[in-house]
Structure 1
């Protein structure tokens, strides 16, 4: 069965979610989750914060591709911090 799955595509393939340790910034948690794509990495991640007992999440994926995962994660962190500085809690509205 594995041979046919590889030949004709396995429709059950789901991208595996890797656990990442968040970085705390001004009460927000930033998760760096670069997406591998064609030998490069797309800048992606999540920003979360607990507000009134509920965890709010903002996910984003940028169009930028970088050569390494560490580059993509570094850029994501800087963009997320800038976004938090500019938007504050209104990120989740």
Structure 2
């Protein structure tokens, strides 16, 4: 393989969009809906999902990768609950409290 081809491959990507699993049951917590949606990756499942309330939503993705899809969904729910407890509605951005 030529040097130019090797260098070219460094700057091009053949990666496809990650496969998001959304077959998990939504969890209601303190008025919020938590939707775990683990992302399938080569190393396992990445913690990912949505936190929703009323018309607002927050995409929740973390660096954590777990080998088991169900454990990953459970971890997303656990982390989302902590985030809700700590930040409340501010997870959706500024609510004009200035």
Normalised by the shorter chain, which TM-score bucket?
0.7 to 0.9
Q: For the aligned residues, what is the CA RMSD?
A: 2.2
Residue 74 of structure 2 corresponds to which residue in structure 1? 74
Q: Matched residues in 2 for 1:26 and 1:18: separation?
A: 22
Q: Highest Rg: 1 or 2? A: 2
Residue 3 of structure 1 corresponds to which residue in structure 2? none
Q: Matched residues in 1 for 2:18 and 2:66: separation?
A: 23
Structure holding more strand per residue: 1
Q: Matched residues in 1 for 2:77 and 2:70: separation?
A: 10
Structure 2, unaligned stretches of length 5 or more? 1-13, 94-98
Alignment of 1:28-47 (within 5 A): 28-47=32-51
TM-score (normalizing by structure 2): 0.70
Q: Give, in angstroms, the shift of residue 18 of structure 1.
A: 3.5
Q: Matched residues in 2 for 1:14 and 1:43: separation?
A: 12
State the aligned residue count: 79
Structure 1, unaligned stretches of length 5 or more? 1-8
What secondary structure is seen at the aligned counterpart in 2 of 1:72?
A: helix
**Shift >6 Å, 4+ stretches:** none
Q: Matched residues in 2 for 1:14 and 1:66: separation?
A: 15
Say if 2:29 is the partner of 1:25.
yes
